[in-house]
Amino acid sequence: MKALPTDETRPVAMAARFLERPATREVIRHLPSESFRWLEHDYPSEIARWNYHPEYELHLIRHGTGSYIIGDQVGPFGPGQVALIGPGVPHDWMSDLQTDEVVYNRDVVLQFTGEWFERCASTLPELNPVRALLESSGRGIIFTGSTAARAAAELELIGTAQGARKVSHVFAVLATLAEAPVDEKAFVAREWFSTAGQGDGRLAVEAGLAYIFDNLSTRIRMSDAARLAHMSEPTFSKHFKKSSGLTFSAMVKKLRIANACRLLAQTDDPIASVSLGVGYSNLANFNRQFHTEVGMTPSRYRRLDATERPAGQTPSLDLKTRRPPSILESTAGIPVEDCWAGRAT
């Protein structure tokens, strides 16, 4: 599934256009013959944008470097990075591009629903150890070292296998990640969303997030979000905080500041324009809120190299490793370079 550039749509222009968009709800469509979705794509691509969805997502970077945004955090990525993203967590991987550059086959993506996994686990108790992994994915998890290398190999095999063998590789990659040692996984974002929310809690969070993302650059009212969830404001507020771990206003602030980090890192827009673009009409207030959340001014943040930018509570890791070639790389005869499996500092 690829979006190739044309003479009328140049890659850099495409990337700039995608970057200006707020996070969108991605509708994940499964074929009737499949219980999950596996795909690969280039960058820039129409589907490579800041988005969120109710499915779990496993994401492998094959080629290129750049910046990711997961939840409320921004950090660098490189080849071999494997990430697990929980339902509802906004995410994007933005590659560093030269003029007219396209990074072909940059990503491998696996997406599946929590309902599908629970149906499987209800008849296959051997899957129970994976449940804890999925429950912690609301923070986003980046895997490194041998865990990332083995997971990448299994993700590639899903794309070449058929039938039951394809499913076996899905279970294999989940088992690999569930067994990852502490020093080969890092939680990216703060605990801001619970994948365990059910009923009214899930409804409040999904309606609230949809409303926030649709209005991230304009005025946001909790009363409007509550109305979308068909709840009173007090009821909506209670369920939203219980399921997301944050008040509605705190969630709005985190996502606005995360979007600001994204724009500061990937565009040359004036800081005043960034402020307006993320919903702050008062520049002084934006600077104050940004400093409170990130620990520095927007101008200083923009001047830093990607590896120097703060990424919240994520520990600093030395992730320069050599990974084995993927199945597709071996078949195509593509040499594997020393890979930077992604570093969060």
Q: How confident is the model at residue 304 (pLDDT cuts 50, 70, 90)?
A: confident
pLDDT of residue 22: 56
260, pLDDT greater than 60: yes
pLDDT-derived band of residue 40, with 50, 70 and 90 as boundaries? very high
What is the mean predicted confidence (pLDDT) over 36-51? Answer: 86
* Separation between Cα atoms, residue 28 and residue 39, nearest integer Å: 11
Residue in the structure block whose two tokens are 């550039």: 5
- Average pLDDT of the chain is 80
Residue 344: pLDDT band by 50, 70, 90 thresholds?
very low
The closest of 213, 188, 198, 270 to 23, measured between CA atoms, is 213
**Could you tell me the pLDDT band of residue 273, with boundaries at 50, 70 and 90?**
very high
pLDDT score of 4 more than 70: no
Quick one: DSSP state of residue 82? E
Among 75-79, 239-243, 325-329, the least confident range:
325-329
Cβ count near 299 (within 10 Å): 11
Is the per-residue pLDDT at 8 higher than 80?
Answer: no
More confident residue, 265 or 25: 265
**Which residues are CB-contacts of 54 (< 8 A; sequence separation ≥ 6)?**
87, 88, 113, 114, 206
Residue 112 main-chain phi, psi, to 5 deg: -155, 160
CB 78 within 8 A of CB 320: no
Q: Can you tell me the mean pLDDT for 104-113? A: 96
pLDDT band at 209 (very low <50, low <70, confident <90, very high): confident
Quick: pLDDT tens for 118-175.
Answer: 999 999 999 999 999 999 998 899 999 999 999 999 999 999 999 999 999 999 999 9
Cis peptide leading into residue 298 (ω within 30°): no
With a cut of 60, say whether residue 333 has pLDDT above it. Answer: no
Q: Does pTM surpass 0.85?
A: no
Q: How far apart are CA 221 and CA 279, in angstroms?
A: 12
| Residue 322 clears pLDDT 50, i.e. is over it | no
Q: pLDDT, tens digit, for every residue of 78-102?
A: 999 999 999 888 888 888 888 788 9
Which DSSP string corresponds to 129-176? HHHHHHHTGGG-EEE-HHHHHHHHHHHHHHHH--HHHHHHHHHHHHHH
